[in-house]
Structure 1
Amino acid sequence: MWSWHRQVKDSVSQKTIGLMRMQFWKTAIEEIYRDEPPNQPVSIELWRAAKKHQMTKRWLLRIITEREKDLDDRAYRNLQELETYAENTYSSLLYLLLECLGVKDVHADHAASHIGKAHGIVTCLRATPYHSSRRKVYLPVDICILHSASQEDIIRGSREQNIRDVVYDIASQAHVHLQHARSFSRNIPAAATPAFLQTVVLEDYLQRVRKADFDIFHPSLQKRNPLLPIQLYLRSWKKTY
């Protein structure tokens, strides 16, 4: 369901169609929690997971509602708006993962909130070259204005200093969230670690952006890091994130 929701925005040509699909899932969630799941494979599996792990309906509905608002297909007005989107989607998914892992801990919830925000910010940055190729820009408007970076500059793949300054400000905020998340690590149950291993991928991207001098269109950022599986294994083995 998560993967499908992410693709709706790019796969529909009209907002109305996207809204209809989102409404289907809103209705499906309500039916799942009445033990009347639609006769559809994903809905049935979600019903089983919700019953087994006592998943909170609020988190599922919050993800759908936020994705629905995102169908407006416009740039985020400011960094706070991007963080709100990330909290309501990526962080909500982490809360659900913690429930599936049987973790109920306030420190884990705080870490999940910050990791989700970092994930949303990094995803916005990583997707910028793809979006710009389709003449779309979602980077926070206030930061672009601050550095006199126009949407047209980003669409044509400008690698000038003002674009790098925009990327620096946004990437720095993601880094701050990762640091906050890790400040709770000593107080978080080891069982929560699998839900937080995505920090390895986020940190890897932020480091590569820094090495590229915050040139978001640098070719090196379009390549995968072959060492990531090893890094993930080591963090998993050490039960750290």
Structure 2
Amino acid sequence: MSGSGASTNLRTAFSHCVQQVRSYDYHHYLCLLELPPNMRKAAFALRAFNVETSRAMDIASDPRIGLMRLVWWQEAIDKIFANKLIEHPTARALSAVVSEFKFSKAWLKRSVEARINDASREVTEMPETIDELEKYAEDTASTILYTTLQSGGIRSTAADHVASHIGKASGLLLLLKSLPYHASKSRHSLYIPRKVAAKHGLLVEMGGQSEVRLDSREKLCDAVFEMASVANIHLQKARELAGTVPVEAIPVLLPAVPAQVMLDTLSQVQFDVFDPRIPRGVLGISPFWYQLKLKWSSWRGRY
């Protein structure tokens, strides 16, 4: 392929990534616009990869097809790091930033493997504790932040610690926000750990199997509050470390803002995840206010 043809193809691949993130992960799309221009390319490719893998099970007509898609991505990462060409716009963009920024293969692999393990769960299986969900959030959300930091050449243990906390908070809150969606699909029971469900009277034993029942809105709100409190602790810890983080890492850590917005929205609706206000605007607030919060944090060098 000629040089100009290859660069046109690559431009198309990156525009595809931006479009995917804008369509399916709008609150993070707005965060990425606050990054310095030299980091945006890698960040959009990484977020688009995250969109592809996070939606694989949701858009598949059959869980087996979704699982095959995830396995395809697992193999695609090996090919990308072996410099093999893959005819897929997100994979092409990812391949370009991998060769340019030399970031860690292990984090991308861990992200897909966590999703494969989750997708392979039997419908009757459920996480035992919040710790398991924190680990899932770390593997899927924190890893994207680690890799984005790496693409900016930011080597900082403090920034990695903060990214870990923000990723865990974001991942847990996303699972809570998605509860109504998961409840509407029989596949993938629910992301309420057995211990939390049992403690709040949501667990029903039927024919030797446990099942989470959402009949009581009040009990569900209590369970959501308990899980949201864990996310809140992670955000507090992330902010306590703010003084130790290099200034160039701050824009990468802006996803703490949508996590806080989501927490505030949950608090406003008394932790009722079925409240119709949550899906409105951007995580329950108007796009204008959301962008204002983001710009204000970015301008002040906060997250």
> Which blocks of at least 5 consecutive residues in structure 1 are unaligned?
none
Query: How do residues 82-97 of structure 1 correspond to structure 2 at under 5 angstroms?
Result: 82-97=133-148
Change (3 A) 1:165 1:61: same
1:81 corresponds to 2:132:
yes
Amino acid in structure 1 at the alignment position of 2:148: L
The CA deviation at 1:15 is: 3.7
Q: Which of residues 190, 196, 199 in structure 2 aligns to 1:137?
A: 190
Letter of the aligned partner of 2:94 in structure 1?
Answer: L
**1:128-178 residue CA offsets vs partner (Å, 9 max, x unmatched):** 122222344221121010111135642x5x322x22211111010000000
Distance of 1:82 and 1:67 partners within structure 2: 12
- Structure-2 change in CA distance of 1:215 and 1:26 (3 Å): closer
Q: Give the distance between the partners of 2:247 and 2:126, measured in 1 at CA.
A: 38
How far residue 191 of structure 1 moved from its aligned partner, in angstroms, is 1.2
In the alignment, the residues of structure 1 paired with residue 182 and residue 76 of structure 2 have an alpha-carbon distance, to the nearest angstrom, of: 31
Give the 3-state SS of the residue equivalent to 2:217 in structure 1.
Answer: coil
Q: Report the AA paired with residue 217 of structure 2.
A: R
Q: More displaced, 26-35 or 12-21?
A: 12-21
Give the letter aligned to residue 166 of structure 1: A
Give 3-state SS (helix, strand or coil) of 1:102's partner. Answer: coil
- The one-letter amino acid paired with 2:225 is Y
Structure 1 residue 11: Cα displacement: 2.0
Instruction: Name the CA shift for 1:43/1:152 in 2 (closer, same or farther; >3 Å).
Output: closer
Per the alignment, do residues 33 and 234 of structure 1 end up closer, same or farther by CA in structure 2, a change over 3 Å counting? same
**Paired-residue identity, %:** 32
Q: Match of 2:217?
A: 159
Alpha carbons 2:127, 2:192 under 8 Å: kept: yes
1:152–1:99 distance in 2 versus 1, CA, 3 Å = closer
Equivalent of 1:122 in 153, 156, 173: 173
Task: Look up the match of 1:238.
Answer: 300
Q: How far apart are the structure 2 equivalents of 1:55 and 1:37?
A: 18
Instruction: Please give the TM-score of this superposition, normalised by the length of structure 2.
Output: 0.74
1:30 aligned partner: 78
Cα distance change on mapping 1:153 and 1:40 into 2, 3 Å: closer
Q: 2-side partners of 1:126 and 1:60: how far apart? A: 24
8 Å contact kept, 1:121–1:170:
yes
Choose 174-183 or 68-77, whichever is displaced more. 68-77
> Which residue of the other structure, out of 59, 72, 79, is the alignment partner of 2:107?
59
**Among 207, 210, 220, which residue is 2:267 paired with?**
210
1:221 to partner: Cα distance: 2.1
Shift of 1:237: 0.8
How many residues align structurally?
238
Unaligned runs of 5+ in 2: 1-48, 204-210
Equivalence for 1:99: 150
Q: Give the distance between the partners of 1:40 and 1:133, measured in 2 at CA.
A: 31
Distance 1:164 1:23 in 2: 36
Paired amino acid for 2:65: I
Cα deviation 1:182-213 (Å, max 9, x = unaligned): 11111111111122111111111111212222
- The alignment yields a C-alpha RMSD, in angstroms, of 1.7
